[in-house]
Every structure is written in C-alpha cells, then in structure tokens.
Amino acid sequence: MKAYELLCFVSPSIDEESRAAAMKRIETTIAEGEGVIDNAEDWGKRKLAFEIDGLSEGDYILIDFHAAAESIAELNRVLRITDAIVRHMIVRRYDRD
C-alpha cells in the first residue's frame, strides 16, 4: 500500500450532520478499498485565496492514509459526487511509504 494525503473543504455554512456524513463516506470508501487512515485533522475555517462557488471561506479537513493505487480512482469519484465536498486534492506521499 502507498501513502496518500487528502485535503478537502466543505462549505462553512453546512450543518454538522452533513459534514459528519461526508467524513463517514470518505472513511468507508477508503476502508472498502482495503486502505487505512493514519491521521485525520480538522483544520477548521480558513479564508480562501479567491472565491469558489460564491464562498470566501472553507472548512478544511486533512486526511493521511495508506491505500492501494487502484482504490484512489474510486475515492476520487466519490469525492466528486459528494455534495458536501466543494473541492478536494489527493496527493501521493513518497516520503511516508
């Protein structure tokens, strides 16, 4: 398994239930691909460099995990169709393998 880092943000106006449901969906998708979450950090609200979809702030989440390379495409698909997630980026971490 290879090390990855996922950084995503949700709208700060979203309710806590929807935010928790989005996090649960991410955790489930990683687990279904036989991945393991090493660390999940809630960065809280941060100001965006520029407006995205009318938002000037975002509620950031950073997740470090190990997963098979084949499961990343499915995680990317799930993140794209999850309404609560505004933007996301998955990066391979070579220094943590």
- DSSP annotation of 95 reads G
pLDDT (mean) for 16-41:
92
Question: How are strands ordered across the β-sheet holding 55-67?
Answer: 36-52, 55-67, 2-10, 85-92
Could you give the CA distance from residue 79 to residue 96 in angstroms, rounded to a whole number?
A: 23
pLDDT digits (tens, 9 = 90+) for 40-65: 999 989 999 999 989 999 999 999 99
Is residue 97 scored above 90 in pLDDT?
no
Could you give the CA distance from residue 35 to residue 43 in angstroms, rounded to a whole number?
A: 22
* Residue bearing tokens 């390379």: 69
The pTM (predicted TM-score) of the whole model is 0.88
Could you give the CA distance from residue 72 to residue 90 in angstroms, rounded to a whole number?
A: 8
Confidence tier at 96 by pLDDT (50, 70, 90): confident
pLDDT digits (tens, 9 = 90+) for 65-94: 999 999 999 999 999 999 899 999 999 999
